[in-house]
Amino acid sequence: MDQPLAGFHFGLGGTTMLKFIKNYLWPVFLVLFIIGSGFFIFGVYNSFQVVSGEVSEEPSEDATENEEEDFIEDPLDENDDEETTEVPGEDAEEIREDSSEGLNFISLGDSLARGTGDDEGLGFSGRVVENLRDSSDEPITYNNFAVDGFQSPQLLELFENPDLMEEIEKADIIFLSIGGNDLRRIQNLAVEEQERAYESLEEMYFETLEETFRLLRGENPEALVIFLGLYNLDYSEVNQDETEFLLRWNAAANQWISLEENAVFIPTYDLFQFQLETFLSFDGLHPNDEGYEAIAQRIIDVLPSFD
């Protein structure tokens, strides 16, 4: 009797369990299934939107980083202007307020115009401005738009910026250094290729320079342009071939600038010839404080009186 009773109770328990699942648990499972399906469908839809570019109004981290890089690299950005063109001891906002009066100076071009290598960050143009501030009662505005590594085509592209053209229009003096990075392009060529490369490069350079001056003079025909010549990094006989190209480059630039109205060529070849160790910074490429000061003094010697 015990065994049949035991079997009976087992059978009865199984039937009761099935009824319990059917009546109570099955609806719960169904609801959970529907909810889970909803989340799954939403997830697939959202993924499709992300892939198709329809979602995410907020910029990605990569996009934000790119925007920050663009901000940093733009030499004419408003905030960057105030940071990089400020002369020590002067307030950038006060300088801009005085821009409608007194004298306006700007610097354009490559790392030499920028002042790279100068521990004080002034360069030759900033040192000229400081000297004039000490000797003149005229308020002076100074902005530096030069960029390390610039070649002549990049300078020309910069003239598409309306902020720069506005500064050019107001300028009384424009410091310009451009061409050194152009000429360096033939440096690593084979000797037999250098002559042809130089002739092509020189032609392109002066075509670009002519267009640069056309745009510059279109905005300001009266400003005095101070154009910096190139110095040599190696005056030895070993470097004779490259020295010859540099001398030809300087001679052509001197002649070209001399034919321009309100422009003056400032030679630096002789200035550095016997002073390389004294005038070059630790990088062996750019002038140091003393080198920039020597260039500045040569410029001051040819500037007109502003009294």
What is the DSSP code string of the chain? -HHHHHHHHHHHHHHHHHHHIIIIIHHHHHHHHHHHHHHHHHHHHHHHHHHHT-S--SPPHHHHHHHHHHHHH-TT-HHHHHHHSPPTTS-HHHHHHGGGSSEEEEEEESHHHHTTT-TTS-HHHHHHHHHHHHH--S-EEEEE---TT--HHHHHHHTT-HHHHHHHHH-SEEEEE-SHHHHGGGTTS-HHHHHHHHHHHHHHHHHHHHHHHHHHHHH-SSSEEEEEPPPPS--SGGGHHHHHHHHHHHHHHHHHHHTSTTEEEE--HHHHHT-HHHHB-TTSSSB-HHHHHHHHHHHHHHSPP--
Mean pLDDT of the region 52-79? 39
Worst-scoring range by mean pLDDT, 60-69, 143-152, 249-258, 289-298? 60-69
Worst-scoring range by mean pLDDT, 165-179, 183-197, 285-299? 183-197
Give tens-digit pLDDT for 78-131: 334 433 333 333 333 333 334 457 999 999 999 999 999 999 999 999 999 999
Give tens-digit pLDDT for 120-164: 999 999 999 999 999 888 899 999 999 999 999 999 999 999 999
pTM of the predicted model as reported, rounded to 2 decimal places: 0.69
Worst-scoring range by mean pLDDT, 132-136, 228-232, 260-264, 294-298? 132-136
Give the model's confidence band at 178: pLDDT under 50 very low, under 70 low, under 90 confident, else very high. very high
